[in-house]
């Protein structure tokens, strides 16, 4: 039976919950809102299926393929504008839907908590489009996807690398009608922290929230903003460098314990495709850097390359050196655990969000100077 003795060893993928034949595993939230499996020992028959599908206990099968990196963005300007980067996810998902398939991905509920859901129409893709910097609740979507796969319909399943690893282990075999796509992931912040941030926004707006956009491009892709609209018409908008939630997230102050030692890092993946922000695209292709968003697409399988080729007419794309992937640090490296991470979360429980961020997430001047020097040095070395 699955036992979580060290929270760092559980990614919260729901694979164990999904596979239990007697449904004796519940995913219960801890004080930070992260979900962990709890086994009803009175019902458990110790079949060990939960251990067999756990991507931490049993490493998933990695794809045996020579990876290909591609810079790409949607030619549909509306899709690109409403996407976090280049809109490639939407283009790929539309193809699957046009073939009568379904798409699984992360969506906000009415309280702006994040759940994995299934959509079967192009209009429904709007719910899945855009980044959501909170771990989604998988719930029963692994089971739903498996039943749809068995019926013969195409399935496009998008998630974090650990979610895809858990999903592939849960399935136990490959399906010709399945496309899996993960992301280059920095980590997932605590739902408790996200909830406290939303409370602070509601107070500032003096309103309930109507809409949340993590990656608004009004000021450009490179200076993206968190935009939150109240039902009273008021708007709070700040760049990722100014926004308190993004400060806590990018300073690694509130990530899931497993994110500091992520088991799903690496170029080789169990997925068919990996999508990421191609921030340094100008170093590889100058005319792609228009500040409107470009995706880095890494193909891990022939199936992934095939579906990308199927949408070539709908995207601007160009193959780039795999160095573009290697230089995206979160591809291979976990976020570093701050020494005062737990202090931040505890302080937040009894203070305002602004106070907690100011105390724990302000970037020291010496760090800013060092980062600037590293960036300048990197640019100079590339010109040589």
- 384 in a domain, yes or no? no
pLDDT at 369: 61
Lowest-pLDDT range, 61-65, 152-156, 266-270?
61-65
pLDDT at 373: 63
Instruction: Specify whether 31 is located in the same domain as 128.
Output: no
pLDDT at 379: 53
Instruction: Specify whether 49 is located in the same domain as 73.
Output: no
Instruction: Specify whether 47 is located in the same domain as 68.
Output: no
pLDDT at 381: 53
Work out whether strand 68-74 and strand 295-299 pair parallel, antiparallel, or are unpaired: antiparallel
Lowest-pLDDT range, 50-59, 206-215, 325-334, 365-374?
365-374
Mean pLDDT of the chain: 93
Instruction: Specify whether 255 is located in the same domain as 336.
Output: yes
> What is the number of structural domains in the chain?
2
Q: How confident is the model at residue 115 (pLDDT cuts 50, 70, 90)?
A: very high
Taking alpha carbons only, the member of 200, 149, 165 closest to residue 55 is 165
Instruction: Specify whether 124 is located in the same domain as 67.
Output: yes
Q: How far apart are CA 96 and CA 231, in angstroms?
A: 34
Instruction: Specify whether 76 is located in the same domain as 147.
Output: yes
CB 96 within 8 A of CB 156: yes
N-to-C CA span, the chain: 57
pLDDT over threshold 80, residue 380: no
Q: Where are the beta strands (DSSP E) in 221-314?
A: 225-230, 235-239, 273-277, 295-299
User: Can you give the pTM of this predicted structure?
Assistant: 0.93
pLDDT over threshold 80, residue 110: yes
Q: How confident is the model at residue 350 (pLDDT cuts 50, 70, 90)?
A: very high
Structure tokens at 124: 């429904």
Percent of the chain at pLDDT above 70? 94
Instruction: Specify whether 144 is located in the same domain as 287.
Output: yes
pLDDT at 42: 94
- 342 in a domain, yes or no? yes
pLDDT at 65: 86
In the block, residue with structure tokens 């979610």: 163
- 362 in a domain, yes or no? yes
- 306 in a domain, yes or no? yes
pLDDT over threshold 60, residue 193: yes
CB 103 within 8 A of CB 118: yes
CATH number where 32 lies: 3.30.70.20
Q: Report, as an integer, the average pLDDT of 239-267.
A: 95
Q: Report, as an integer, the average pLDDT of 123-144.
A: 95
- 114 in a domain, yes or no? yes
- 70 in a domain, yes or no? yes
pLDDT over threshold 80, residue 207: yes
pLDDT over threshold 70, residue 159: yes
pLDDT at 64: 81
pLDDT at 206: 97
Q: How far apart are CA 367 and CA 384, in angstroms?
A: 26
Instruction: Specify whether 250 is located in the same domain as 113.
Output: yes
More confident residue, 66 or 246: 246
pLDDT at 62: 87
Taking alpha carbons only, the member of 293, 309, 322 closest to residue 179 is 309
- 1 in a domain, yes or no? no
pLDDT at 371: 57
Instruction: Specify whether 34 is located in the same domain as 69.
Output: no
Q: Report, as an integer, the average pLDDT of 175-189.
A: 97
Q: Which domain holds residue 155?
A: 61-379
pLDDT at 286: 84
Helix (H, G, I), strand (E, B) or coil at 92: helix
């Amino acid at each position: 039976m699955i036992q979580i003795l060290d929270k760092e060893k559980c990614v919260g993928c729901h694979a164990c919950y999904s596979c239990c034949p007697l449904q004796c595993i519940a995913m219960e939230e801890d004080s930070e809102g992260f979900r962990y499996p709890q086994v009803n020992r009175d019902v458990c028959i110790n079949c060990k299926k939960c251990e067999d599908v756990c991507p931490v206990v049993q490493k998933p099968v990695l794809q045996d393929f020579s990876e290909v990196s591609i810079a790409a963005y949607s030619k549909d300007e509306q899709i690109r504008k409403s996407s976090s980067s280049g809109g490639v996810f939407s283009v790929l998902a539309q193809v699957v839907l046009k073939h009568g398939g379904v798409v699984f991905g992360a969506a906000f509920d009415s309280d702006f908590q994040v759940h994995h859901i299934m959509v079967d129409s192009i209009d429904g893709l709007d719910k899945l489009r855009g980044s959501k910097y909170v771990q989604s609740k998988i719930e029963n979507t692994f089971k739903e996807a498996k039943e749809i796969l068995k019926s013969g319909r195409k399935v496009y399943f998008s998630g974090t690398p650990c979610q895809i690893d858990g999903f592939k282990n849960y399935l136990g075999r490959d399906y010709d009608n399945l496309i899996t796509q993960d992301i280059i992931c920095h980590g997932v912040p605590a739902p408790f922290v996200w909830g406290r941030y939303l409370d602070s926004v509601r107070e500032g707006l003096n309103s309930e929230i109507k809409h949340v956009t993590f990656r608004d491009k009004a000021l450009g892709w490179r200076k993206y903003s968190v935009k939150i609209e109240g039902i009273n018409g008021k708007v709070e908008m700040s760049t990722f460098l100014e926004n308190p939630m993004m400060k806590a997230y990018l300073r690694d102050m509130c990530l899931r314990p497993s994110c500091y030692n992520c088991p799903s890092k690496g170029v080789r993946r169990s997925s068919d495709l990996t999508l990421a922000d191609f921030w340094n695209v100008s170093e590889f292709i100058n005319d792609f850097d228009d500040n409107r968003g470009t995706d880095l697409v890494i193909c891990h399988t022939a199936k992934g390359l095939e579906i990308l080729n199927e949408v070539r007419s709908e995207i601007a794309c160009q193959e780039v050196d795999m160095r573009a992937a290697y230089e995206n640090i979160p591809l291979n490296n976990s976020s570093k655990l701050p020494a005062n991470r737990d202090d931040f979360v505890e302080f937040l429980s009894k203070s305002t969000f602004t106070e907690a961020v100011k105390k724990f997430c302000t970037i020291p001047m010496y760090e800013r100077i060092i980062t600037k020097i590293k960036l300048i040095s990197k640019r100079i070395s590339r010109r040589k």
